Amino acid sequence: MDEFILLLPSRHRRSLQRGLTTDQRVLLESVRAARALANEGQKPIVKTHARDMVILPEMVGITLLLHNGKEFVPIEVAVEMIGHYLGEFAITNRPVKHGQPGIGASRSSMYVPLK
């Protein structure tokens, strides 16, 4: 673990050196239990709210359901994700998709045909 921490950028390194929070510790224990189930041939899924957890090498291959504030987004942890935060892979806001203006939205909406 100490060798892995030295390879990370300073923000991630500082986060791990300060210790794990209770949520992060529970997530890590769940991932280790899921790893044991994966060795038996099952496809385990781990649900979590810990968006501030740095992805560790032992998480590779596990499917996580990460909460984005509204729903749980499935994330398959790959090798390229190691060292990033979990929250980077479950976006919390959606792009705005504008439709037609409603009645009274502006002066130009007087000319929008009604259905």
The CATH number of the domain covering residues in 2-92: 3.30.860.10
Taking CA atoms, 91 is separated from 31, 77, 103, in Å, by 22, 15, 32
pLDDT at 110: 64
Run of H or E residues at 27: helix 22-39
The pLDDT-based confidence of 78 (bands split at 50, 70, 90) is: very high
The pLDDT-based confidence of 76 (bands split at 50, 70, 90) is: very high
Euclidean distance between CA atoms 20 and 50, whole angstroms: 11
Q: What is the mean pLDDT of residues 91-104?
A: 76
The pLDDT-based confidence of 44 (bands split at 50, 70, 90) is: confident
Domain borders along the chain are 2-92
Place of tokens 């990370």: 8
Length of the chain: 115
pLDDT at 1: 79
The answer to whether 24 and 52 are in contact (CB under 8 A) is yes
Percentage, residues of the chain above pLDDT 70: 86
Question: DSSP for 39-100?
Answer: HTT---EEEE--TTPBPPGGGTT-EEEEE-SSSEEEEE--GGGTTSBGGGGS-SSPPP----
Tens of pLDDT along 1-36? 788 899 999 999 999 999 999 999 999 999 999 999
Does the pLDDT value for residue 102 go beyond 70? no
